A and B are shown apart, each in its own frame.
Chain A
Amino acid sequence: NAGVTQTPKFQVLKTGQSMTLQCAQDMNHEYMSWYRQDPGMGLRLIHYSVGAGITDQGEVPNGYNVSRSTTEDFPLRLLSAAPSQTSVYFCASRLDSSTEAFFGQGTRLTVV
């Protein structure tokens, strides 16, 4: 099993550009989440999903959109990138609410 796969690993964007961070899991997990990791701030939840067709906001959702059309994929969209969105983004999945979370390798995004 590949587990949780994130693409790309690195990305540089100009302010105002849009892009989609991809996340795919092959473990048939229902729960998927996006976090951003910033120095001194830990991991903050952006958006999460408890199943296909269901998404909800986390702690820091502004500037990000998500969708969950399939169980496997949970893309994160930046519609108009800002320097404040420079961060490392992690996608995670869980089989259900009581099991451990599996993380992707992360996407390091720089917005200039």
Chain B
Amino acid sequence: AQRVTQPEKLLSVFKGAPVELKCNYSYSGSPELFWYVQYSRQRLQLLLRHISRESIKGFTADLNKGETSFHLKKPFAQEEDSAMYYCALRSGSEKLVFGKGTKLTVNP
């Protein structure tokens, strides 16, 4: 069965420090992975997807099929990065399965 695991519920870093939000998945097929972000009192929005291999707001994520991971990284965290981050897996053709989320707090 498909599953997305985000092991950290909470992550706190200082401004300017590197940040890594972990995501591991289990899926027997060829995965398509996403990171969504939810800023305070706002709707979820797509941050990035592994297919596009782009960097959004300084964030990057690399799909590691050997480790079944899709960790989200940013070299220098900013206070405005404080938000809830969800890793998601497209399962088959219809379902989008989410992890439980990691709340990132960037302290000044």
Chain A residues with a Cβ under 8 A of chain B: 4, 31, 33, 35, 40-45, 48, 50, 56, 58, 90, 92, 94, 97-98, 100-101, 103-106
Contact = CB atoms under 8 A, between A and B. Distances in A.
Contact of A42 (B32, B45, B93, B99): B99
Interface of B: 6, 9, 32, 34, 36, 42-46, 49, 86, 90, 93-101
23 contacts: A4-B43, A31-B94, A35-B98, A42-B86, A42-B101, A43-B86, A43-B98, A44-B98, A45-B98, A48-B94, A56-B94, A58-B95, A90-B43, A90-B44, A94-B96, A97-B94, A101-B36, A101-B44, A101-B96, A103-B43, A103-B44, A105-B42, A105-B43
Contact of B95 (A40, A45, A105): A45
